[in-house]
Structure 1
């Protein structure tokens, strides 16, 4: 691995403390807009975008507003996570609640929004869960391997810094919790609807380990805002071919292509008592 730049080194140190600092010459990160639903906004809105054609990923940088960074950003997501990143240990608390939630077909993804879903705590820093969103095929790859589905758990701290936990799914045994959620998949784009008679606990949709690849990236949808921390579970879960097909028939392909690494450092984070 190449020696990290000064900006990268600053990020690595600050990330271990989970207090994200702005890189030199950049504004402080805030909660994202667009498909990743949180409570904040970043810059002026961008015009309509899609996953193909004249408004697809190759053209996002020309959509206006803050979307220029989709093309010239140096810390864009998703990426292919390769090699053997250096291991770091942190105290990780998955403090999620079993709560009611809404589900929405946005036309570009399926979004689940829990009511007071709890938080992720890392070395004392807390990030509140805001939404859960799904992409197929997976946006991230590990050593060149794309999974069939990726779920993304969007978190924001009290200063507006964004952290997204990613879970990858390969084809195999059906996932029971995802199966329960899938029975509520809205057939058409529209407003959020309640998940009647179903409580959502984010931890039930995650592997039973505390082992992640961590790196500094961006939103994977316009305006592609950077200074987003990604924590990608190293261990995938499984879904059945029928579960994968149900999502793909409803939404279609909704993954941004892999982005250049630009010599960014990855590291591996494991939980410790």
Structure 2
């Protein structure tokens, strides 16, 4: 067996050192902008801190307060309802539009573009726009109802607890349904045409083809879309802030708006950070459970 030369023995070391040099900048940025803020947030969650004075260690007091805070607990119920609403207004409606607009004709392409166009607006801009549309006195929606003689439909949409959250769901659907439409439209285009031809020869109509061919082959896309809707729903803030800011009477308060109010309006950054940690843990647990269930479903299926 031929002995290794000194150059051969040094080669792995030099290669490892070169790899470390290339990885070091990325690791430095990750530690500076991700790991350090994360560890700092965990530390401040156990303190009483207003952002200016020296943090005072209070242990689990912030977390005990969080689980006794009725508005904080109710915010998770509100965001759950919001997520269920987005699954209908965004994911389900986006899937429906992807199926209905699945054509290469110019008119259909134009309609897909128009349906996707709300995605161009920022969430804050969309919220301000719809705040004018849904205004009780001068809003476009109530003005149209009044002009058509449908006075019984005129509502203070954003000023009463029974309709405020539903109005936010609708605006969110208007904003994001086009995003999910594009996801499903791209997936539908990958489905082989011969499957639909075979289903047609078997006597399956459009509705049966949708449930027997399209939906099963969109299973993975549906899982991804639902996961995006759920995690994005928990992070929802812009629409709630611009449309209702958690009102009326905290009926549209969600975790993000309540965290902002506690941390910056009340100058309780320690408590606000604890609420953020709770939210992060909840979202992580839900995501892991959902991914575990989806993986088991795939194993059982195949």
- Superposition TM-score, scaled by structure 2 size: 0.24
Q: Whose strand proportion is higher, 1 or 2?
A: 1
Structure with more of its chain in helix, by fraction: 2
In the superposition, the TM-score normalised over structure 1's length comes to 0.25
